[in-house]
Amino acid sequence: MTTNPVVKSAKRGPYAKSKQRKESIVKAAHEVFAAHGYRGGSLQDVADKVGMSQTSLLHYFPAKSDLLLAVLDWRDRISGSGSGQGSVSVPGSGSTEGLGEAREPEEALVDAVIRQASFNETIPGVIELYTVLCAESLTENHPGLRYFTERYERLRGGYARKFSVLAGQGRLRDGVDPARAAANLIALWDGIQTQWLMAPESIDMAACLRDYLQLVVVPEG
């Protein structure tokens, strides 16, 4: 029994078109939310960017909060790929992405952090989106609060484990607590991103992060 390729193509066609349309909506919403925030950016703004009516947009995303979560998921995927990190062991944040596996704990931590910070700078709007939405998520009844709260919890745990491995090898400087070092790294990264957005020509994010890590991590050898 043979299958008619024309029938198979016809079945795939509408799905592929729908998927492409959803991706175009998410990309447009990424631009709108990065520029105006979730509350300031309207569904009509997004619809206008993709050349469709708001009613048609709601066919793909029934609620504005659904679109927000789709944007955050898409941001995770584009910032977590193409950075040369290999497999991801710690979920990312707008600032702090997953750490790729490496041969040495210091390399897995230090080099992966620097690589990700540099990579994020090359993706239009990804740092703006994260910074704006993370701050805005603290406002009343914001649909992104759980997303960012859980992200920070995962990040603190993931980085603390990396620092703990280094501590067990005598590679953390005296008095450095792995859990606090993890929280400090995330705080520095988020803060330096905000400064970079205000004055990109004056702020070297990768260098600032490397300076911090050199203060807490003892180089091998």
Q: How confident is the model at residue 4 (pLDDT cuts 50, 70, 90)?
A: low
Predicted pLDDT at 208: 97
Q: Please check whether residue 66 is in contact with residue 73, taking contact to mean a CB–CB distance below 8 angstroms.
A: no
Name the pLDDT band for 1 (thresholds 50, 70, 90).
low
In three-state secondary structure terms, 217 is strand
- Going by pLDDT thresholds of 50, 70 and 90, the confidence category of residue 15 is low
pTM, rounded to two decimals: 0.80
Confidence tier at 98 by pLDDT (50, 70, 90): very low
**Residue 97 in this model has a pLDDT that exceeds 90:** no
- Residue 205's contacts (CB-CB under 8 Å, 6 or more residues apart) are 117, 118, 121, 189, 192, 193, 196
Read off the pLDDT of residues 155-203 as tens digits, 9 standing for 90 and up: 999 999 999 999 999 999 999 999 999 999 999 999 999 999 999 999 9
d(CA 110, CA 163): 10
Helices (H), 64-177: 64-79, 105-106, 112-121, 126-136, 145-168
Which backbone phi and psi does 206 adopt, to 5 degrees? -60, -40
Are the C-beta atoms of 63 and 50 separated by less than 8 Å? no
CA distances from 126 to 74, 185, 191 (A): 10, 19, 15
Instruction: In whole angstroms, give the CA distance from residue 119 to residue 66.
Output: 27
Token pair in block for residue 19: 């998927």
Residue 129: predicted pLDDT: 96
